[in-house]
Chain A
Amino acid sequence: MSVTLALALGLIGSILAPFAAARWKTIGNALVVAVPALLFIFFFLQLGAVGEAPIVEENPWVPSLGIALTIRLDGFSLLFALLISGIGTLVALYAASYMDEKTPFYRAQFLFYILLFMSAMLATVTADNLMALFVFWEMTSLLSFLLVGFDSTKLAARKAALQSMLVTVGGGLSLLAGIILIGVTAGTFSIGALMENPAPLVESPLFTAIIILMMAGAFTKSAQVPFHFWLPNAMAAPTPASAYLHSATMVKLGVFLLATMAPIFSQAAWFGPTLVAFGGATMLIAALQALRSTAFKAVLAFSTVASLGTITMLIGLDGEVAAVATVGFILAHALYKAALFFCAGIVIHATGEPRLNRLGGLASVMPITAGATVLAAFSAAGLPPFVGFISKEYLFEAQIESTFTAIAVLIGVLVNTVMVAIAVVVVMRPFFRPARRELHVHHGEATGMTVGPVALGLIGLLFGLAPGLVATSLIQPAASAIYGEPLDVSFYLWHGFTPMLALSILVVALGLLVAKYWDPIHVALRRRRIFDRLLDDRGYYWVLDNTLALARWSTLRLQNGDLRIYTAVIATVVTFFMVYALLAGDGPVFPSVNHPEFNLYMVGVVGLIIVGCFVAALTTSLVTAIIGVGLAGYGLALVFLLNGGPDLALTQFSVETLFVVIVTAVLLRLPLMFTKTRTPGERRYDASLAAVFALTIFSAVLWVEAVPFNPVIPEYFAQVSYTEAFGRNVVNVVLVDFRALDTFGEIAVVAFAALGAWALLRRNNVAKKKPAATPAKEG
């Protein structure tokens, strides 16, 4: 069976199974678990093939455009596919039980989102085409939105849903910009093709921009500084979703992308150091915030952020070991963190108490959960013989071998100390210490919910004891894929007495110390309000609030329903464009013009126009204004008359007369005096705008005058007006001969206008209407 077919069947199953679950509980739940389980088995069977060479399947999508939906399953994406489907199986099992008391519709809806999310994730990690990858990437963001806000009666959940969506979708668009640039520079969207021939991309001047844009997208998804704030807030989601999306799978997409592209991107020298810097900063901030957190899930969320920072740093480190460490850490982290979330979910579900310091003494009530937590926490703390220990050894080795030795190791030690402390606290506090106040436990453990964490904990132990199970089958292909060339991987438990072991021991010792003094440290750090100001999502809200304020301001100012402002804006912009055209053009701004002979009567006519305009602009009476405009129009008609266009002048005269008569007649029904509608300031603005507009037109006309008109038209008419129409006055000929029908139409229009005016002015035809109510204003 091809991977494509498996994915398609998986999608169909993901859609159908929840509907079954809504109707028949037992069968439906089994189906919901079966879908991811079968996918897991399928991907498990691919291990052998992928170990030799990546599986590539090309499916035509838009053949006319040469776009194919290619599936590419290499070692690294297979690791992700196994984690997604494997943990997905456990999450489905867990969720069915977690949502047991809810209505069937509610439960089915949740399972629907979860399975759909799984399909989208699988498609993202197997897509070869970057555009397809982006599409699925954004689908996971959408589904994350729906899952975070699933408990829609809570304000916090709704806010967090929107926040996570805005951050990840916004970052996704940045990713899109990067992908488009890749397509433009390299001429392909295929990751495989890029790997084979990265030269056009690397040599492009846009390479830096591409990396930055893709990095921004990856950082938002993987909650790296400065976008780290959304992930802890997203813990408002139901716990199965937190375990799945916000710890094991979705948030790793960012680092997945970075790691996949790393063989190409690392050809930019600054790529690695930048990742180390951001990863390191994220680790430190997340560790600090974890120490300050009170809620069970928040502590886990911050430790997840720190782990994501660790992976980012590892991708940035150079060397073969870093590749192995990246893969090992992703595997180990997914196993133990999902398990810890499962356990947290069981505890919170049973007690209804989300705060860590209120919990206690639960080991006797929930022995299996306590055991699973211990297993997972051991791996999280990096104790032998768990897989977490191996991954931490590799982490330290990668840091030591890299070029950033000191600073990387320092950050690694500090953050891992906190990790150890967290591991201790999440085991001791809820399970083995007595509760401070009496804790009401609603119910015990449900089998469906404990299977997941126990299984994951045992797998962590198994992989630790027998790392050979995964070393060559899983770790090696994955590490080779992100390293860019085949690696010979050694992944084993005991490395001997190395510096890494010493560091591990140091970290565990320090971690135990921090765990012992957790409360004082927690209280002291919590009191420092400065961290709130620096580290939480204030920046997000600042951007959001200011954007909203800007939006409100712009609509209130510009779109207030006032026609005056609208026309002013249009006039301003047109003026601006004209000035721009004048200044940007080739010619001088004020060319010298050969003015025609100076006629005294023209001065008189122009004076008439000017007087008319001023009257119209300055008067407070509407009728006077109309007469002023009419005066200007008559002046223009005189200009035509005096320049050899008597017929044009006649038309203009009749139009002007009609205009004045009709409009005056209409105005007579209105109050004759303006009430002042403009403030002095507005009047001044309008006046200066009009002046600038006029000036621009003036210089434009001068300028246009200096450029010869196209001679084709006058020549043509001069030539043919006598030969074809037997008239000497060209304008006359054009009007009554060449364009006779147009002239006829004009006359008809004037006549119709007169008719309309007559109809309008008949007294008895005026409908009795109520006066218009208040005009529309911006709300």
Chain B
Amino acid sequence: MPVETTASGIPIYAVPALGPALPEIIMAVGVLALVLYGALRGERSTGVVTAAAIALMAFTLGFVLTMPAETQITFADAFITDGFARFMKALVLIGAIVALAMSREHFRRAGIDRYEYPLLILLAAIGMMVMISANDLIALYLGLELQSLAAYVIASFHRDNARSTEAGLKYFVLGALASGMLLYGSSLVYGFTGSVSFPEIAAVLTEGANPGVIFGLVFIAAGLAFKVSAVPFHMWTPDVYQGAPTPVTAFFASAPKVAAMALAVRVFMGAFLTIVDQWQQIIVFIAVASMFLGAFAAIGQRDIKRLMAYSSIANIGFALLGLAAGTQQGVEAVLVYMAIYMVMTLGVFACILAMRRGGVELETIDDLAGTARTHPGFAFAMAMLMLSLAGIPPLAGFIGKYYAFWAAVEAGLVVFAVLGVIASVVGAYYYLRIAKIIYFDEPVGAYEPMPGFLRGVMAVSAVFTVGFWLVPAPLVAAAGVAARSLF
């Protein structure tokens, strides 16, 4: 580290270039302003703060999309923006915007529409963006914790609800455990490679890894697996998904999953790519275990939010299979998969949020019975989304799975790809059953009218799911560009 000095020997440190981090900075300044506004105006400000938060994220999204595609590094190599970051940040922001916009109506009815919620979402979004742009272990941890701390709070956002508080507590305890492991692993890696920076770690590891690094890697993998809720660190997911208020669950299921997956890609592809054969087994194990547990456990569920939790576990398993490939194609598969997964998830949650009768939230799958007759549009969207989650062609979910399998097979993981296919057969059972309940069972009664925004999200998601195979090129091409920037 040669440092320029003045004539008298005092070192000069250049001010880091702020340009690459401008989206995060805009968000951070915005959220500070909104905190002040909210604190001064009190509860009455909820509507304004929510709208402003959405506008802020939308503006940042536009900003991110117009940023130049070439790779830029700043903050002493800690922070990177590239095509990958752009793709993932766009996804995360879209997820956060939609999740936030879907929440307002729900919170108002539950009597908990506080201005803190949009602020926490914003903070989580900043954390996720830092995660995506992390280029060293410190930035990784910063982003991860910023996102997690906000998430712990919003999980128990419904403070007077025992389940919601329990969800928050469980999430926190297990999350803290995972963070601890991640930190421990990071310090081991730092100690044995002499650097926290991903490219430098990668450079050191070209000569092979010593056991200390592998140990550190195990802990880091455990911490990351917790964040993407992969087996066996998935335990929090069903409880938190069920306990947290539904809009919060919608948020958890969408943007943070994408961000955590992006982080995993950054770590494994950025820092540890040269020792791929050391971690491939771990990731493959986690991926296969997730696919199977997600598929099997979903079968026993009656609660649709728990079901979505298991669905997310299984889906993450498929995405991880793409990551395990350790190739550019694998990253591309992960990107396509996560994009498709996020759109489907938001659509499903729009449907779940619309399931209300007599002012009561409905949460079991039996409440979907016969909606084909009472709400044909809703039923069609929900059925298509479920079939897509099951990976039935030609729906979008199938195409995501296909890319993941393909990448895994190309990387020589044939057996695991076939295991993945078997797991998706098991999983298909449950989603098909839901399609059966929607179409063939006796209707219970009509829901309350669906708010316009939810209807819009549902429609867009369903159209995307059904029509994706006709025009897959834009997304696939964008994912290809993003994946290329990593290699």
Contact = CB atoms under 8 A, between A and B. Distances in A.
B39 interface: no
Contacts of A713: 190-191, 194
Interface stretch (B90-98, B146-154, B409-417): B409-417
A707 B211 contact: yes
Nearest to A65: B476
B232 A569 contact: yes
B428 A710 contact: no
B160 to A, nearest CB: 8
* Among all A-B residue pairs, the 5 with the closest Cβ atoms: A712-B194, A710-B194, A551-B299, A152-B440, A566-B235
A555 B235 CA distance: 10
B211 A703 contact: yes
B426 to A, nearest CB: 7
A666 interface: no
A555 B297 contact: yes
16 contacts: A62-B476, A64-B480, A134-B393, A139-B394, A173-B422, A176-B421, A180-B417, A206-B414, A544-B429, A551-B300, A552-B300, A559-B297, A566-B170, A572-B232, A707-B212, A776-B167
B218 A581 contact: yes
Interface in B421-450: 421-422, 424-426, 428-429, 432-433, 435-436, 439-442
A219 to B, nearest CB: 15
B31 interface: no
Interface in A749-779: 769, 772-776, 779
A180 B393 CA distance: 14
A704 interface: yes
Contacts, number: 198
Given A169-B392, A547-B299, A704 B235 contact: no
Contacts of A62: 472-473, 476
B239 interface: yes
B77 interface: no
A45 interface: no
Interface size class of A (residues with CB under 8 A): 35 or more
A161 B439 CA distance: 11
Contact of A166 (B204, B429, B469): B429
Nearest to A769: B160
B300 A548 contact: yes
Contacts of A180: 402, 405-406, 409, 417
Given A135-B469, A170-B428, A776-B167, A555 B301 contact: yes
Given A62-B472, A134-B393, A146-B439, A169 B166 contact: no
Contact of B235 (A149, A570, A716): A570
Given A149-B439, A169-B432, A554-B297, A775 B166 contact: yes
A561 B237 CA distance: 11
A582 B477 CA distance: 42
Contacts of B110: none
B440 A551 contact: no
A567 to B, nearest CB: 7
Interface residues of B, number: 86
Contacts of A551: 296-300
B394 A573 contact: no
Contacts of A565: 235
A65 B477 CA distance: 9
Contacts of B393: 134-135, 138-139, 176
Given A173-B428, A184-B414, A713-B194, 7 more contacts: A62-B472, A65-B476, A152-B440, A177-B421, A704-B212, A710-B194, A776-B166
A776 B236 contact: no
Interface string B233-257: 1011011001100000000000000
A433 B466 CA distance: 53
A710 B192 contact: yes
Given A162-B432, A547-B296, A577 B282 contact: yes
Interface in A527-586: 544, 547-548, 550-552, 554-556, 558-559, 561, 563, 565-567, 569-570, 572-574, 577-578, 581-582, 585-586
Contacts of B166: 772, 775-776
B129 interface: no
B54 to A, nearest CB: 30
Chain A CB within 10 Å, residue with most, of B167, B195, B214, B429: B429
Contacts of B392: 138, 142, 169
A598 interface: no
B36 interface: no
A358 B440 CA distance: 30
A186 to B, nearest CB: 13
Interface in A483-521: none
Contact of B302 (A145, A769, A779): A779
A777 to B, nearest CB: 9
Given A149-B436, A180-B417, A773 B239 contact: no
Interface string A58-69: 000011110000
Nearest to A153: B442
B71 interface: no
B440 A704 contact: no
Given A152-B439, A577-B222, A585 B162 contact: no
A710 B424 contact: no
B222 A174 contact: no
B64 interface: no
Contacts of A135: 393-394, 398, 469
A240 B398 CA distance: 31
B162 A165 contact: no
A581 B214 contact: yes
B188 interface: yes
B105 interface: no
Interface string B189-226: 01111110000000010000011101100110110001
Given A554-B296, A776-B166, A547 B429 contact: yes
Contacts of A674: none
Contacts of B480: 64
Contacts of A173: 391, 421-422, 424-425, 428
B394 A138 contact: yes
A709 B387 contact: no
A567 B300 contact: no
Given A574-B219, A779-B303, A63 B473 contact: yes
A587 interface: yes
A158 B440 contact: yes
B428 A177 contact: no
B69 interface: no
Contact of B218 (A65, A153, A574): A574
A658 B444 CA distance: 56
A166 B425 CA distance: 8
A710 B181 contact: no
Contacts of B167: 776
Interface in A624-679: none
A700 interface: yes
B477 A64 contact: yes
A574 B195 CA distance: 24
A158 B393 CA distance: 22
B418 interface: yes
Contacts of B1: 716
Nearest to B474: A64
B350 interface: no
A704 B215 CA distance: 9
B173 interface: yes
B467 interface: no
B196 to A, nearest CB: 10
Interface string A25-38: 00000000000000
Contacts of B300: 548, 551-552, 554-556
Contacts of B402: 131, 176, 180
A92 to B, nearest CB: 22
Contacts of B232: 569-570, 572-573
